[in-house]
Amino acid sequence: VPCVSVWAVVVAAGAGERFGRPKQLELVGGRRVVDWAVSAARRWCEGVVVVVAPHELGVDIDGADAVVAGGRERSDSVRAGLAALPEGVEIVVVHDAARPAAPDGLFGAVIAAVRDGADGAVPGLPVTDTIKVVAHDGTVEQTLDRHRLVAVQTPQAFRVDALRGAHAGGGDATDDAALVEGRGGRVVVVAGDPANVKLTVPSDLAALDAALAGGRD
């Protein structure tokens, strides 16, 4: 395997609207949520760029090579992170700070898939609920075939060129991979982990705290 340069962009610039406050600074398992994400990324990447809200630029982030200000939407924050990568980086791993319990192996798996030739790789989990497409008035338009659906997580790995190209036209997506797919890039799914939950509402804290209390992996 040729030695390629891998960096991570950890996005931690959300306002935590559903959570009620910036969730990335909450303590779980004795550390801040963002610190878990950065230290996991560090184990797999040569460098880590952390994207924070502009008013948090002064916050101390251990293990970050660069801390930059994010934007209004997640995509704006990813673009700010991409702009801060040094020359020569070939693979970028984008990770939500809000997923402090991402297992180490997941970083390895998505990076390996991109090394093997994919433009992007994302962790996915089988969907257990049936998913329907619904119009604004509540009328069901379509019921999707659950067997073809996966719920995706981060970390997500990309060829830097592919992700830069996908973000070049601006655009907003809750998922970077969707932008890459939209330009015809080949994105593959690797097995996600049910423990890799995204801290979304305060009631998620207890489970994450329990999962991380004994360390990770």
Smallest distance, Å, CB 117 to ligand C5P?
28
List of residues contacting ligand C5P (CB under 6 A): 11-14, 24, 51, 70-74, 76-77, 96-98, 174, 198, 200
Smallest distance, Å, CB 75 to ligand C5P?
8
Taking the C-alpha atoms of residue 181 and residue 39, their distance in angstroms, rounded to an integer, is 29
Nearer to ligand C5P, 53 or 89 (CB): 53
Nearer to ligand C5P, 77 or 156 (CB): 77
Nearer to ligand C5P, 143 or 200 (CB): 200
Taking the C-alpha atoms of residue 36 and residue 47, their distance in angstroms, rounded to an integer, is 15
Helix (H, G, I), strand (E, B) or coil at 120: strand
Nearer to ligand C5P, 77 or 196 (CB): 77
Smallest distance, Å, CB 196 to ligand C5P?
13
Nearer to ligand C5P, 4 or 125 (CB): 125
Smallest distance, Å, CB 103 to ligand C5P?
17
Is there a contact between 44 and 3 (Cβ–Cβ < 8 Å)? no
What does the buried/exposed string (b/e) look like for 131-162 if buried means 16 or more CB atoms within 10 Å of the residue's CB? eeeeeeeeeeeeeeeeeeeeebbbbbbbbbeb
Is there a contact between 101 and 197 (Cβ–Cβ < 8 Å)? yes
Smallest distance, Å, CB 191 to ligand C5P?
21
∠ CA 56-169-134 to the nearest 5 degrees? 85
Select from 43, 25, 21 the least CA-distant residue to 34: 25
